[in-house]
Amino acid sequence: MTQPAANCPNCGAKILFRWSSSVQTVCEYCKSILVRTDVDLKKVGQVADLPPNSSPIQIGTEGVYNHHPFVAVGRIIYEYDQGTWNEWHLVMNNGSAWLSDAQDNYVVTFAAPGRKLPQSAKVSEQFVWDNEAYTVSTITKANYRGVEGELPFQYWDKADVVFIDLMSEHGKFATLDYSDEAPVLYLGESVEFEDLKLKNLRTFEGW
């Protein structure tokens, strides 16, 4: 499949999209945040210096989840009271997903539109989606810190964000994302780093 390409409107560098459905990307050279329109690329912002990243995952890391190969094409960075975490945008042969990467804990989730969602929730409150009962485990207030690579939506001018995490008795995981006016639900599960069969990882001194 031909990968769509364009030129950065800020510096002229060639922009090659790994995923044909990407809406936003970041120029690797001048760090301009670029949004795709029907005809060209539009600069909408600039990436500030990103916080130090201790994750071995990087743009271009490949792996396997549930027998489906994937590649990490984008990243959203958040900061909270325990540090920072990454939300990696994964492109698979059957769509796209997200890999949450926080303090050596990993969760793969998929957007789950069409469900009835609460405008707020409390710890221990329960909800049922797809015949699975979930209980609110944590409510996290985070600060948006930056973006990298390709994303399936525009996401570059956020500030404070609220996430509500839920767990089921069967080990399933859910997140309610309140970064926009209407909440968005993501459903998935916790995964072990080794089970993702990752390659093209960042290397660190001493590895």
Q: How do residues 185-200 score in pLDDT, each as one tens digit?
A: 999 999 999 999 999 9
Whether residue 177 has pLDDT greater than 50: yes
Q: For residue 17, what pLDDT is reported?
A: 87
Which pLDDT band, with edges at 50, 70 and 90, does 121 fall under?
A: very high
Evaluated on CA atoms 177, 73, 92, 53, the torsion sign reads: negative
DSSP state of 199: B
Whether residue 1 has pLDDT greater than 60: no
Strand residue runs (E) in the chain:
5-7, 14-16, 24-26, 32-36, 41-46, 62-65, 68-80, 83-92, 95-102, 105-111, 126-129, 132-149, 160-168, 172-177, 184-191
Q: For residue 3, what pLDDT is reported?
A: 64
User: pLDDT tens-digit profile of 151-174?
Assistant: 999 888 778 899 999 999 999 999
Residues 6+ apart with CB under 8 A from 122: 136, 139
Across 125-147, average pLDDT: 95
Whether residue 39 has pLDDT greater than 80: no
Across 54-68, average pLDDT: 95
| Residue 33: closest CA among 179, 159, 153, 147 | 147
Across 64-83, average pLDDT: 94
Compute the mean pLDDT over every residue in the chain, rounded to the nearest whole number.
91
Across 113-140, average pLDDT: 96
